[in-house]
Amino acid sequence: MGQIGGGRHATLTVGDLAARSGVAVSALHFYERKGLLDSERTSGNQRRYRRDALRRVAFIRVSQRVGIPLADIRTALASLPEERTPTKADWARLSRVWREELDERIAALEHLRNDLTGCIGCGCLSLRTCALQNPDDQLGEGGIGPRRWQD
């Protein structure tokens, strides 16, 4: 749990942040443990969040919705100056990156779907010929990966 620098007031309780963001308190604590969110502590050891935490949580949720792993979201946030909450320009840039990653995952899933379509009505599950058993259409030679153990 870090102290928030910059002298800006942290006024939101975790309950406020949960209510306004629609994210459960447990998820907010989880984000904090993972280093995605930061808070100050009151003298009574209560968490307080700055108002920009709302936008930060919105960024995390939208990124997660696109399927971005938390570790990658953390890396993206850490790449911003002073780990600031993404500005409009930051989000425009990062969302372009997320879009490219989404395109790659869609292409990979379409490839997988095509391979699976070839299996429908087949049933061979051949380690030699089934595309899903051997996605690159070749058996690894001495490297990591599945080996042919039957035909």
Q: Which stretch binds ligand FES (CB under 6 A): 14-22, 60-68, 93-101, 128-136?
A: 128-136
The contacts of residue 66 (CB under 8 Å, 6+ apart) are 98, 101, 102
Q: Which is nearer to ligand FES, 4 or 130 (CB)?
A: 130
To ligand FES, the closest distance from the beta carbon of 141 in angstroms equals: 22
101's tokens: 């990653």
- Rounded CA-CA distance 135/105 in Å is 16
Q: What are phi and psi of 146, to 5 degrees?
A: -65, 150
Strand partners, 50: 10
Q: Which stretch binds ligand FES (CB under 6 A): 48-56, 78-86, 102-110, 129-137?
A: 129-137
Which of 58, 62, 102, 130 is in the footprint of ligand FES by CB under 6 A? Answer: 130
- Rounded CA-CA distance 100/66 in Å is 11
Residue 2 is given by DSSP the state P
Q: Which is nearer to ligand FES, 15 or 146 (CB)?
A: 146
To ligand FES, the closest distance from the beta carbon of 26 in angstroms equals: 42
Dihedral Cα 99, 102, 107, 110, nearest 10 deg:
-130
**Footprint of ligand FES on residues 66-125 (CB under 6 A)?**
118-119, 122-125
Q: Which is nearer to ligand FES, 85 or 134 (CB)?
A: 134
Applying CB under 6 A, which residues contact ligand FES?
118-119, 122-126, 129-130, 132
